[in-house]
Amino acid sequence: MEKVKETAEKIRTMEIRGAGRIAKAAAEAIRDYAAGLEAASMEEFSAGIQEVSSFLISTRPTAVSLPNAVKLASRYSSGNVEEARQEVIENANSFIEKADKALGRIGKIGSRRVRDGDVIMTHCNSHAALSIITAAFEEGKDISVIATESRPRRQGLLTVRHLNSFGIPSTLIVDSAVRYYMKEVDKVIVGADAIAANGALVNKIGTSQLALAAHEARKSFMVAAETFKFSPSTIVGNPIEIEERNTDEIVDPAIIADLSHVQVKNPAFDFTPAEYIDMIVTDIGIIPPAMAYTVIKEHLGWEFGEI
């Protein structure tokens, strides 16, 4: 359990971050926990897996990749402890392998939509979006990137560092400069923390204003998302919860300590309606947002009874 707690803390503090990485870390934690779980009976085994699953899921509420990964990794059907243990280990490993392959597939598929000479705007730090951008560059396309700073955690710095390591030219801008630079942009590519059954995107705060600016300027808005970022529970009406993070990420509490009429808010994500999204690049191909329901039902393999 100590190792699980360690992973959970790293996810909570964002030492491990990015919806895909969070999912893989959770699957690894469950696998290692299952491998070492001392259980005299199936009841004990089930209770242990259940406890660890709930604990991991509670670390960050918005990225649906987390509960999806936990659910896919912790599945077993056997009534025998040793067999169930093996099933969990295999399911977790298979999830991790598929997640890695998905990133490669998204890069390959999405890069076909990137043209030589494109200026791409991106937001925050998405491994899926970066997979498309780096794949296009490695195919020899002459591209450049405008990356938003992404306050308050400034993941834009991670993005420009990553791009720089490939030799891809990039420009770092503050979030409020998005509309100012939109005229220079050919397409916007962002990642996803979750996609609802109606095709709405949940991603880093500020994504929806990027989508609005792209829509106004008639620029293409692409989302890069593995199929495990689609939210099954939205089919049965559960809304996606937006994580509110500690306000000291925005301002030092001492600075506002005596400002009795001031409050600070720090939502980490926002919703972008399907109508502002031109395409979602997934590991099973490029889809319109209207196909989100089908992805959940047919490809994620979710049954209503499980939700």
Catalytic (active-site) positions: 124, 193
In terms of DSSP H, where are the helices of the chain? 2-12, 19-36, 42-57, 65-73, 81-111, 127-138, 156-166, 178-181, 207-216, 253-256, 292-294
Q: Pick from 114, 124, 211, 223: which binds ligand RI2 (CB under 6 A)?
A: 124
Q: What is the H or E stretch that residue 202 is in?
A: strand 201-204
204 sits near ligand RI2 (criterion: CB under 6 A): yes
Min CB(8)–ligand RI2 separation in Å? 14
202 sits near ligand RI2 (criterion: CB under 6 A): no
Considering all CA atoms of the chain, what is the largest pairwise distance in Å, rounded to the nearest integer? Answer: 64
Site map 19..48 versus ligand RI2, x via CB under 6 A = xx----------------------------
Cα distances from 211 to residues 33, 127, 202, 285, 301, in angstroms, run 41, 19, 12, 21, 30
Both structure tokens of 283: 């590991």
Stretch that binds ligand RI2, among 30-38, 41-49, 126-134, 210-218 (CB under 6 A): 126-134
245 sits near ligand RI2 (criterion: CB under 6 A): no
155 sits near ligand RI2 (criterion: CB under 6 A): yes
Q: Pick from 128, 163, 213, 223: which binds ligand RI2 (CB under 6 A)?
A: 128
Min CB(76)–ligand RI2 separation in Å? 26
Would you say how long the chain is, in residues? 307
Both structure tokens of 173: 């801008």
18 sits near ligand RI2 (criterion: CB under 6 A): yes
For the chain, the first-to-last Cα distance in angstroms comes to: 26
110 sits near ligand RI2 (criterion: CB under 6 A): no
Q: Which residues bind ligand RI2 (CB under 6 A)?
A: 17-20, 124, 126-128, 155, 190-193, 203-204, 268
